[in-house]
Amino acid sequence: MAQNTQMLKGILEGCILKIISENETYGYEICEKLMKFGFKEITEGSVYPILIRLEKKELIYSIMKPSPLGPMRKYYYVTDKGNVELYDFISSWNEIKKNVENVLEG
């Protein structure tokens, strides 16, 4: 389980960047999308630290906006630097995926 957690850490950053790049979104919605895509054990407690880290790296930025259902929400957007990082993540992922498949297929 610890091995899965370590592998997921880097992968989740790229997946979250991809989700944010498609539309403005907020933390809880990101969690819902990750769960919909099959990340069943993802919690807000694991997503919010990643969002903070991505924001500190200037890969995303946030704006507080009114919510139709209550208090203000923090909406996230990808920066130009974040788009470059996303492109690099996708390229790296495709290479790693290809190499792992080669090994598994023998």
Q: Give the pLDDT confidence of 17-56 residue by residue, as tens digits.
A: 999 999 999 999 999 999 999 998 888 899 999 999 999 9
Query: Measured between alpha carbons, how far is 80 from 96 in angstroms, rounded to an integer?
Result: 24
Give the Å distances, CA to CA, from 69 to 3, 56, 73, 76, 101: 38, 28, 10, 18, 45
Whether the predicted pLDDT of 2 surpasses 60: no
Q: Please report the domains of the chain, with CATH numbers, ordered by start residue.
A: 2-105 (1.10.10.10)
Q: Considering the entire predicted model, what is its pTM? A: 0.88
